[in-house]
Structure 1
Amino acid sequence: MTAVPLCVPFARRVEAKAAGAVWQVQERYWACDSSLLRTDAYSRLKPFVPRMYRPDLEGPALRPWLIPSPLWGKNLRAILSTEEWDRVRRHAYEESGRRCRACGGRGPRWPVEADEGFAYDDEGLTHTLMGVIGLCPTCHEVRHWGKTVMKGREQAALDQLMRVNGWSVETAAAAVDEAFERWSWRSEQTWTSDYSWVTRTHGIAIPANADARANAANLQIIGEAPISHTTWPIATDEMTAHDHVRSSVFTPMRRLGKFIGGLFHR
């Protein structure tokens, strides 16, 4: 059996087993044979299948992401109490079966981390929280390049981006180029944030002082920033693709990592 790791919450283990999931006794995780993903059983297994293995997925399973500077610090962790944020993130861990929703893996020290997913309306300039999911630490590093470069784990994140999506180094470099260009434009805009997902999903009311708390967090980070924008290097004919990735992705982001790395915690 070519095992595909599954993200099975404890409360849904019976449902997953009925759909074809098998408990791996020694490794202690749920999995299914990859052949089932090409049968009618897939519709029942789909809620548990990591994005990396989904045959119906359009687009990459994992993207590099850069938060626009006006939105640094504007997240649930900033606006909620510690108890409320703990409730949200722990629910995300449980819903993922404590496995990564992108690749199905687990971290060596802790299984997963909470990743807040936002949608950006570039016309209406609204930053909308869409959900919080569990990602393994390495996939989470791909999602947050600032913290990643601060830790010196650029290459590990790049390798993960290529592995999860089946990308070449050139394709991965292009994806990060695109993310940076989008970040640069979005960082010049004024955004409105919508956190209503947490109320609909968890019944947690948005605090009356949410905007003030988020703005305070943002101003503190902006005040520490050594630069407002970075220059995106251009590849030359003499540079290999790998050299271009390291110069264009890692060098400017290492400068950003110094002051945005502290935003993202388990």
Structure 2
Amino acid sequence: MGERIWLDVPFAEKEAAKAAGARWDPAEKRWYAPRAGMESLRPWAALPEVPELLPGEDRAFGSGLFVDLVPSTCWFTNVRSCTAPRDWERLRRMITRRAGGRCEICGAAPEANSRRRLEAHERWHYDEAERVQTLRRLICLCDACHTVTHFGLAQVRGVEEEAGRQLCAVTGMSAAEAEEHVAAAFELWSRRSRVEWSLDLSMLTEAGITLRTPPEAEQRPDIAARELGSGAAEGPRRFG
């Protein structure tokens, strides 16, 4: 078998790519062209790989499992919202590959017979004096650990008990310690949500990733209510 002609196919476009002749490599978890010169697959021709260490990235920043709530004034400015689907696919693939296909916190790997999967998560630095939210790291998390980080979203989705158990299991916190940790995270979220933050994604642009404009700040509460339910715009509830 010759070298694969890889494609960059966003998840939302997989059926279109498949209909155009793309094939799936289950070992690599990636789509490819079965032969060269297929014009129907040109829209998904692979771009250069993203470097495994992004410019200015600190892979020690934000280590461990903790509740990492995004201020409401920053909702829908995450990396996935600010990049084209093909660029997000390139980033997601790099993040998973460099983590060895495992969660960088608990070490879990995807399981074919379960719903466990790997996801990308951002670690942000908030400069409160300058009011700048800066991307410092991209980390590979299993969905269980990722749910803990977005504890407010876990509450909206009714899975806060599962998230609480995961937090305790991974960190060794008692239930009381976990409740205190979550409450402190909500207090920080509340304070940061009173600030309009400037977004610094230079870690991506310096790696050749093209950004797209996120929704305006005044639009985000309505988007949250529409996509996540009316309670989302009100913010997280306390644990327990």
Q: Deviations over 1:51-91 (max 9, x none)?
A: xxxxxx99972111211111000122122111011111111
- Confirm or deny that 1:197 pairs with 2:228: no
**Is the contact made by 1:106 and 1:112 (CA closer than 8 Å) also made in structure 2?**
yes
Paired AA for residue 175 in structure 1: H
CA contact (8 A) 1:65 1:143 kept: yes
Q: Partner of 1:126 in structure 2?
A: 132
What aligned pairs does 1:74-153 form with structure 2 within 5 A after superposition?
Answer: 74-107=77-110, 108-153=114-159
More helix by share: 1
Deviation of the 1:199 alpha carbon = 2.7
- Post-superposition Cα deviations, 1:2-34, rounded to whole Å, max 9, x if no partner, equal xxxxxxxxxxxxxxxxxxxxxxxxxxxxxxxxx
CA contact (8 A) 2:153 2:236 kept: no
Query: 1:174 aligns to what SS in structure 2?
Result: helix
C-alpha deviation, 1:219, in angstroms:
3.9
Q: Does the CA contact (< 8 Å) of 2:152 and 2:236 recur in 1?
A: no
Structure 2 match to 1:221: 220
**1:261 counterpart residue number:** none
When residues 230 and 219 of structure 1 are mapped into structure 2, their CA distance, relative to the original with a 3 A threshold, is closer
**Is contact 1:99-1:135 (8 Å) kept?**
yes
TM-score, length basis structure 2: 0.64
Unaligned runs of at least 5 residues, structure 1: 1-56, 233-247, 251-266
With normalisation by structure 1, the TM-score equals: 0.58
Distance (whole Å) between structure 1 residues aligned to residue 148 and residue 124 of structure 2:
15
2:177 is aligned with 1:187? no
Q: Assess, with a 3 A threshold, how the Cα gap between structure 1 residues 59 and 134 changes in structure 2: closer, same or farther.
A: closer
Matched-pair identity in %: 34
- One of 126, 151, 168 as aligned partner of 1:162: 168
**Residue aligned with 1:249, SS:** coil
Q: Equivalent residue of 1:215, what SS?
A: coil
Structure 1 partner of 2:239: 249
Distance 2:84 2:235 in 1: 34
Question: Given that residues 72 and 235 in structure 2 are in contact (C-alpha distance below 8 angstroms), is that contact kept between their aligned partners in structure 1?
Answer: no
Relative distance call for 1:168 and 1:222 in structure 2 (3 A) is same
Q: Deviations over 1:104-130 (max 9, x none)?
A: 013433531111111111222110011
Distance of aligned partners of 1:59 and 1:119 in 2 relative to their CA distance in 1, 3 Å threshold = closer
- What is the CA RMSD across the aligned residues, in angstroms? 2.5
CA contact (8 A) 1:89 1:132 kept: no
Matched position secondary structure for 1:214: coil
* Matched length: 172
Q: Taking structure 1 as reference, are residues 149 and 230 closer, same or farther at Cα in structure 2, changes over 3 Å only?
A: closer
CA distance in 2, matches of 1:60, 1:115: 12
Q: Take 2:181 and 2:150, find their aligned partners in 1: how far apart are those partners?
A: 14
- The 8 Å contact of residues 154 and 163 in structure 2, kept in 1 or not, is answered as yes
Give distance in 2, aligned partners of 1:231 and 1:92: 28
Q: Which amino acid aligns with 1:204?
A: I
